[in-house]
Structure 1
Amino acid sequence: MKSILNISKGILSVALVSVAFASCSEDVMDRINEDKDHTTAVPAKFILADVITSTAFSNIGGDFNTYFSTYVEHMVGVDNQLANAETRNGEPAASSTFNNVWGNVYSTLKNARIAIDISSDELAANYTTKGIAEVLAAINSGLIADAFGDTPFSQAALPELVNGQPQFLTPELDKQEKIYASIMEYLDAAIADLPQGDKSSSIGSYDFIYKGDKDAWLKLAYGLKARYTMHLLARSADKEADLRKVIEYVNKSFTSIDQQAAFAIYDATNINPLFDFQWSRDGLAASKSYADKLIERNDPRLRRIFSVGQGYVTKEEKAVSVQITGVNDPRFLMASNGTAEPVKYKYNTPIFVYSQTCPTMLMSYHELLFLKAEAEARLGEADAVNTLKSAVVAAIANAEIGVAAAFNAPTVKDYGGVKETTKAITPTEAATYFDTSVKPLFDANPVKEVMVQKYIAFLGAFGETTECYNDVRRLKAMNEDYITLLNPYKFPLRAPYGADDVSANPNVENAFGNGQYVYTDPVWWAGGTH
Structure 2
Amino acid sequence: MMKNIKKYIAAFGLMATIVSCENLDELNVNPSFPVDVSATALMPPIEQQMAVGLQFDNRILGRYIQNFSIATVNTAGSQWDQYGYQANSDVGGEIWKMVYFSIGLNLSKLQEKAIAEERHDITGISKIIRAWSWQVATDYHSELIDFDQVFTQRLSFDYVGQEKVYAEVVRLLNEGISDLARTDGNVSQTYTAGGDKMYGGDRSKWMKFAYGVLARNLNNQINKASYNPDKVIEYCDKSLASNADNALIRYNGTIAADINFYGPGRSNFNTFRQTDFAVRTMNGEIFGATDPRMSRVLVPSVGTSETAPASAAAPDPTKYTFNGNPLNTTASTAASNVSRIPNFWGTYTVGAQANPGRYLFRDKANFPLMTYAEIQFIKAEAAFIKGDKALALEAYKKGIDASIDFVNANTVVSTVFPITTTISATEKSAFLANINVVPLANNLTLSQIMLQKYVALFGFGMLETWSDMRKYHYDNQNIYKTMSYTPNGGLFVDNGGKMPYRVRPRFNSEYVWNFEALKAIGADKVDYHTVEMWFSQP
Which residue of structure 2 aligns with residue 306 of structure 1? 298
Match for 2:93 among 84, 99, 104? 99
Change (3 A) 1:372 1:353: closer
Structure 1 residue 217 corresponds to structure 2 residue 209:
no
User: Could you give the per-residue CA deviations for residues 290-334 of structure 1, whole angstroms, max 9, x where no partner exists?
Assistant: 1112222222223332324689999989xxxxx9945x64x5332
What secondary structure, in the 3-state scheme, does the structure 1 residue paired with 2:97 have?
helix
Aligned to 1:271: 259
Contact 2:261–2:268, Cα closer than 8 Å, also in 1 = no
- 2:512 is aligned with 1:503: yes
Contact between 2:259 and 2:266, CA under 8 Å: does it hold in 1? Answer: no
Q: 1:465 aligns with which of 442, 457, 462?
A: 462
Distance of 1:178 and 1:431 partners within structure 2: 45
**In the alignment, structure 1 residue 359 sits paired with structure 2 residue 347:** no
Contact 2:300 2:418 in 1 (8 A): no
TM-aligned CA deviation for residue 36 of structure 1:
6.8
What is residue 118 of structure 1 aligned with on the other side? 113
Q: Tell me: CA distance 1:30–1:356, structure 2 relative to 1, closer, same or farther (3 Å).
A: same
- Residue matched to 1:256: 242
Matched, 1:429 2:427: yes
The alpha-carbon deviation at position 178 of structure 1 amounts to 0.6
Residues 215-261 of structure 1, C-alpha deviations (whole Å, 9 max, x = no match): 111111112211111122223x333xx21111111111222111211
Cα distance between partner residues in 2 of 1:276 and 1:156: 41
Structure 1 353/52 Cα, relative in aligned 2: closer, same or farther at 3 Å? closer
Distance in 2 between the 1:172 and 1:344 partners?
49
Asked if 1:332 corresponds to 2:322, the answer is yes
Query: Residue 360 of structure 2 contacts residue 367 of structure 2 at CA under 8 Å; is this kept in 1?
Result: no
Separation in 1 of the partners of 2:159 and 2:532?
Answer: 16
Per the alignment, residue 392 of structure 2 pairs with 384
Q: 1:400 aligns with which of 408, 421, 441?
A: 408
Distance 2:93 2:298 in 1: 31
Asked if the contact 1:109/1:140 (under 8 Å) is kept, the reply is no
Q: TM-score of the superposition, structure 1-length normalised? A: 0.80
Distance 1:378 1:100, change over 3 A: closer
Q: Judging changes above 3 Å, is the alpha-carbon distance between structure 1 residues 168 and 372 closer, same or farther for their aligned structure 2 residues?
A: same
The 8 Å contact of residues 187 and 221 in structure 1, kept in 2 or not, is answered as: yes
The residue correspondences of 1:105-504 to structure 2 (distance < 5 A) are 105-107=99-101, 108-122=103-117, 125-155=118-148, 157-158=150-151, 166-197=152-183, 199=186, 202-235=191-224, 237-239=225-227, 242-269=228-255, 270-275=258-263, 279-294=267-282, 295-296=284-285, 297=287, 298=289, 299-308=291-300, 325=317, 329=320, 331-341=321-331, 343=333, 346-350=340-344, 351-352=358-359, 354-381=361-388, 382-404=390-412, 407=413, 419=417, 421-436=419-434, 437-440=436-439, 443-460=442-459, 463-476=460-473, 481-484=478-481, 485-488=483-486, 489-490=490-491, 491-500=499-508, 501-504=510-513
In the TM superposition, what is the alpha-carbon distance from 1:367 to its structure 2 partner? 0.8
Q: Percent identity?
A: 21
What SS class does the counterpart of residue 403 from structure 1 fall into? coil
Q: Secondary structure at the match of 1:459?
A: coil
- Contact in 2 for aligned 1:172/1:507 (Cα 8 Å): no
Q: Cα 1:81–1:206, aligned 2, differ >3 Å: closer, same or farther?
A: farther
> Partner residue of 2:533?
523
Structure 1 unaligned runs (5+)? 1-22, 159-165, 318-322, 409-416
Contiguous gaps of at least 5 residues in structure 2: 1-16, 310-314, 345-357, 492-498
Secondary structure of 1:233's aligned partner: coil
Q: Is the 8 A contact 1:83 1:342 kept in 2?
A: no
Task: Give 1:163's aligned residue.
Answer: none
Asked whether the equivalents of residues 494 and 522 of structure 1 are also in contact (C-alpha less than 8 Å), the reply is: yes
Change (3 A) 1:128 1:325: same
Higher helix share: 1
Deviation at 1:341, TM superposition (A): 4.0
Q: Aligned equivalents of 1:54 and 1:261: distance in 2? A: 14
Partner Cα separation in structure 1 for residue 89 and residue 79 of structure 2: 14
- Equivalent pair of 2:411/2:420 in contact (CA under 8 Å): no
Please state whether the residue corresponding to 1:439 is helix, strand or coil: coil
* Residues 474, 480 of structure 2: 8 Å contact kept: no
* Counterpart AA for 1:212: G
Alignment CA distance shift 1:373-1:290 (3 Å): same
Other-structure match for 2:82: 87
Output the CA distance in 2 between the equivalents of 1:84 and 1:422. Answer: 34
Aligned letter for 1:372?
Answer: K
Q: Distance in 2 between matches of 1:150 and 1:438?
A: 39
Question: Letter of the aligned partner of 2:363 in structure 1?
Answer: Q
After superposing the two structures, state which structure 1 stretch, 242-251 or 443-452, moved more. 443-452
2:455 and 2:447 map into 1 onto residues whose CA distance is 12
The number of aligned residues is 471
Within 1, Cα distance between the matches of 2:18 and 2:303?
72
Distance change in 2, residues 1:499/1:187 (3 Å): same
Determine the C-alpha separation between the residues in 2 that align with 1:173 and 1:292: 41
**Equivalent position of 1:48 in the other structure:** 43
Corresponding position of 1:5: none
- Equivalent position SS for 1:76: strand
In structure 2, what residue type is equivalent to 1:486? S
Distance 1:136 1:444 in 2: 39
SS in 2 for 1:206: coil
Question: 2:425, 2:140 → 1: CA distance?
Answer: 35
Cα–Cα, structure 1 residues 448 and 314, in superposed 2: closer, same or farther, change >3 Å? closer
